[in-house]
Amino acid sequence: MIESIKRLFAHETSSKEIAKERLKLVLIHDRSSISPEIIEQIKEEMIQVISKHLEIDRGGMDFSLEGEEDSIALMVSIPIKGMKRNKKKSRD
């Protein structure tokens, strides 16, 4: 009950924090020399491969680049709704 009340009055992310995260993402893109087009292509290809085996929630997906001084990581969060049933191929 108390947790529900806390969530109701929880502090939402400020515009300052959002701007800071966006700037951080832009800097990481610049340092990595990976174009937004390439990131989008990677994202679409990952979705295609994963969608062959799992039912996913495209609306809840999150793709981002995070980095430290000398390394960059592609962070991916894809909500899974369930497994797809594989249809057996019939031999003719």
| 22 closest CA partner among 36, 10, 41, 33 | 36
> What is the reported pLDDT for 69?
72
Q: How many CA atoms lie within 13 A of 88 on its CB side?
A: 3
- In tens, the pLDDT along 32-86 reads 777 778 878 888 899 999 999 999 998 888 887 777 777 788 888 999 999 888 7
Q: What pTM did the predictor assign? A: 0.54
| 77 closest CA partner among 59, 64, 61, 56 | 61
> What is the reported pLDDT for 25?
66
